[in-house]
Structure 1
Amino acid sequence: MTTIAVLGSGNVARALAGPWLDAGHKVLVGSRDPRRTEADRPLPGVHVTGLPDAARAADLVVNALPGRACLELLSSLAPHLAGKVLVDVANAVETDAQGFASAVLHPGGSLAEEIQRALPAVRVVKTLNTAHVSVMAAPRTLATPPSAFLSGDDSDARRTVGALLTDLGWPREWIVDLGDLRTARAPEAFLLLVGSLVRAWGPVPFAMSVAR
């Protein structure tokens, strides 16, 4: 059993927390306003606490914070994150008038690389940011098998995160280990296609898939 802290209390946190709890892990949700989170949208079986307490208590941490704010928030948690695997599922983008991504905030790099640079003692692994929130823990609901990508400088950390993806229902053959953290740049750029896909298909769940 792993103690997992999901930092952030939005839809992504809620999509991941329950399935990991069902898989036998202890799950905490770290919120900037835990009382409000518990009052407004309680998570059955999941303890909601402040960001520092969640990060301190966890074996592994998931960054589900807003992409624009997460660097500052994670940096403030550095003493509690040192030595741990940090799973980055966030996207940092500029948005257009319809709320879709129009540009990445870290051109020539990636949010994951910026997090790693800010937190050198943390083992960052990028994953799941190419899947709609409804698909992250239910990949078999799509008609076409989606792909889940792993990017990170630590191979052991990538294997750890790969195992956690299987707990969310991802078959191992759908998980693609891309290698070091520089490879996170392309998956992060996928969000630039999302607005066009939604306009073409409507607001249906989808994820990136690589055919071979």
Structure 2
Amino acid sequence: MTNIAILGSGRVGGTLAAKLAEAGHKVAIGSRDAAGVSSKWAGKPVTVTGIADAIGAAEVVVNATPGDTSVERLGALRDALAGKILVDVANATVRRPDGMPGGLVYPGGSLAEHLQEALPGTKVVKTLNTMLFTVMVDPHSLKVPPTAFLSGNDAGAKATVAALLGDLGWPADWIEDLGDVGTARGPETIMLIVPSILRNHGMVPFALNVAR
């Protein structure tokens, strides 16, 4: 069992929290509005608490906050996040008026790299950002096996995250370790094709796949 804090209580954070708790992990959602969010989780094996308390009790922290503000939000938590594994599943994009991604916030880099720079004492691992959120916890729902990418500087942290992916239903051979945190640039650019995919197919489960 791993103590996990989820930062972000939207669809992505909530979906991951429910599945990780179902897999036997101790999960806390850290929220600035813990009282308002907690009613949604009444009777379920997920704790809702303040951000500082959630991080303090966790070994692994999941960043499911909006990517365009993640560096600012998490940078302010630098001391609290020191020594933790930070699983970054967010995408930092400039939003169009219709809410769809219109460009990358960090076109010469990646959100994961900027988080690692802002949090030097934290082990940042990028993963699960190349798919609709439902696929994160149900990869077998697709007709073709999807690929979950890992990018991070610490091999031990990536091994821990790979094990958590296994608990979410990802077979080991569907996980591709790309290398250090700089390799997150590739997967993060995938968001640029999402508006076209959604226009053509609607809000249906999808993910990037590496055909071998």
TM-score normalized by structure 2?
Answer: 0.97
Structure 1: gaps of 5 or more residues? none
Amino acid at match of 2:37: T
Which ranges in structure 2 are unaligned for 5 or more consecutive residues? none
Question: Paired residue for 2:124?
Answer: 124
Aligned CA RMSD, in angstroms, stands at 1.0
- 2:141 is aligned to 141
Residue 42 of structure 1 deviates from its aligned partner by: 2.2
Quote the Cα distance in structure 1 between the aligned partners of 2:53 and 2:73: 13
Report whether the alignment pairs 1:35 with 2:35: yes
Distance in 1 of aligned mates of 2:141 and 2:65: 25
Deviation (angstroms), 1:125? 0.2
Counterpart residue type for residue 184 of structure 2 = A
Instruction: State the distance in 2 between where 1:82 and 1:143 align.
Output: 40
Secondary structure in structure 2 of the residue aligned to 1:134:
helix
Corresponding residue of 1:198: 198
Residue in structure 2 matched with residue 111 of structure 1 by the alignment: 111
1:45-80 Cα distance to aligned partner (Å, 9 max, x none): 111011111111101100011112221211121121
1:22-171 equivalences in 2 (<5 Å): 22-39=22-39, 41-42=40-41, 44-171=44-171
Contact 1:8 1:32 (8 Å CA) reproduced? no
Range moving further from structure 2, 107-116 or 89-98: 89-98
**Number of matched residues?**
211
TM-score, normalisation: structure 1: 0.97
Structure 1 runs, 4 residues or longer, greater than 3 Å off: none
Once the two structures are TM-superposed, the CA of residue 30 in structure 1 deviates from its matched residue by 0.5
